[in-house]
Chain A
């Protein structure tokens, strides 16, 4: 029996809560990146800070609470790309699942 028939047969309902939580786990893990000797999470706050700062090099506290001297532009570009790619994939998968009943 294929999975579609199985779902119909069992009169199963799609759990949007479970799907939402699963996608959060899956895609949040992809926002974490090691770069320039530190561990970072690509968040809008960090990306925003990196974009408005004007120094070439800055010291940031990484996810392990260590201060790390980083090249600002290089880190910005890395985090911005990861954030954009991951969020686009997250949205695409969420749209696929959102319509299920």
Chain B
């Protein structure tokens, strides 16, 4: 497909944020939105519920769309309102949308390059961990596919992407059935697993290379803590501290990362470095 952009198409970022007792996702969304405006010069739409919206401070979103949180998911005995991403297709006000997790830390304009290299849908299929370069890729299970990541999803509104989002809804509604077929560890609904299955179904059970973002998603994972190196408002340089367990002892290791986007799995740490 010829990658020529219709200049009248609108572009923007879409964030889903539903607060839970221990995590203020809206607060994180505000920080991600500020960084999206600064580094990408893109408007941001927030999808949230009435209660969570009350925690928006010092920021005006391009749009705030209200939706009820789908509350029937738990992680580590805590509620986790991550369902309902399939609604992105109907709710987005943009022709070209990037859905981001609120804990995705933007430090560069890298995401803009996605618009140059996709047809109508793309996401990450490979990851790297900041301090564990040798970790392998994640699979749904030993019997199933390599996981796709819902942390960053870019899409245009087309008939095909509509099918993908409809499949996402179908997988979410029949998650236990897919758990049984693919033998993955169930109980907790994961958008990553749902996306992995939905995209394959929509593509007729084949891998479509054109749906993959051609670089790795970088995670800051377990035992990893980030510290910002400067007090600039939009700091882009961090020290990454890692507790490397060997023979029952912790060896502290560190590295420095700058001007590079990454996904912070530790929500508390994300909030700390945004202060």
Contact = CB atoms under 8 A, between A and B. Distances in A.
Interface of A: 3, 6-7, 10-15, 17-22, 25-26, 28-29, 32-34, 37, 39, 41, 63-65, 93, 97, 100
B130 A29 contact: no
A5 B116 CA distance: 42
B117 A34 contact: yes
Of the listed residues A6, A26, A28, A97, the one surrounded by the most CB atoms of chain B closer than 10 A to its CB is: A26
B227 A3 contact: yes
B15 to A, nearest CB: 23
B110 interface: yes
Interface in B123-141: 128, 130-133
B2 A37 contact: yes
Given A6-B227, A7-B239, A63-B214, A18 B117 contact: no
Given A22-B130, A34-B3, A34-B116, A29 B255 contact: no
A18 B133 CA distance: 6
A25 B216 contact: yes
Nearest to B258: A93
Interface in B211-239: 214-216, 218, 227-229, 239
B256 interface: yes
A14 B251 CA distance: 11
In the A-B complex, the 4 residue pairs with the smallest Cβ-Cβ separation, listed nearest first, are A29-B215, A21-B133, A12-B252, A34-B116
A68 B257 CA distance: 36
A19 B215 CA distance: 17
A11 B260 CA distance: 26
B255 A14 contact: yes
B7 interface: no
Given A18-B255, A37-B3, 20 more contacts: A6-B227, A10-B241, A12-B241, A12-B254, A13-B251, A13-B252, A15-B254, A18-B242, A18-B253, A19-B255, A22-B133, A22-B218, A22-B260, A25-B218, A29-B216, A32-B117, A34-B3, A39-B3, A39-B214, A63-B209
B210 interface: yes
A28 B215 contact: yes
B246 interface: no
Contacts of A37: 2-4
Of the listed residues B4, B133, B209, B240, the one surrounded by the most CB atoms of chain A closer than 10 A to its CB is: B133
Contacts of A29: 110, 214-216
B113 interface: yes
Contacts of B113: 32, 34
Contacts of A13: 251-254
A10 B2 CA distance: 53
B3 A14 contact: no
